[in-house]
Amino acid sequence: MVKVIYFGAAREITGKAEEELAASDTERLKQLIIVNYPEMRSLPFRFALNGALLKEVATLERGDKIAVLPPFAGG
């Protein structure tokens, strides 16, 4: 299980600040999030793994923390 932490619009869509999910990599995690929360399909988002922004698919291990990062508006 990995801890998934939702920010911004992702938090609004899921109705959760965080949850634990089982996935072997970030591609599978993305699919799982979209199945659980179909509205996430229309939201572009990226992952950060243990504080590092990801640019490609990454393997996940038990205890990892994944941040779901939608686009942020500056101001």
Q: Which residues constitute the domain of residue 54?
A: 2-69
* CATH code for the domain in which residue 31 is found: 3.10.20.30
Whether 23 maps to a domain, the answer reads yes
Please give the C-alpha separations between residue 33 and each of 15, 54, 70, 73, 74, in angstroms, as whole numbers. 13, 17, 13, 23, 26
Whether 28 maps to a domain, the answer reads yes
For the cut 60, the answer to whether the pLDDT of residue 75 exceeds it is no
**Per-residue pLDDT tens over the stretch 26-56:** 999 999 999 999 999 999 999 999 999 999 9
Structure tokens, 11: 């938090």
Whether 45 maps to a domain, the answer reads yes
Whether 75 maps to a domain, the answer reads no
How many independent structural domains does the chain possess?
1
pTM of the model: 0.92
Rounded to whole angstroms, the Cα distance separating 47 from 50 reads: 10
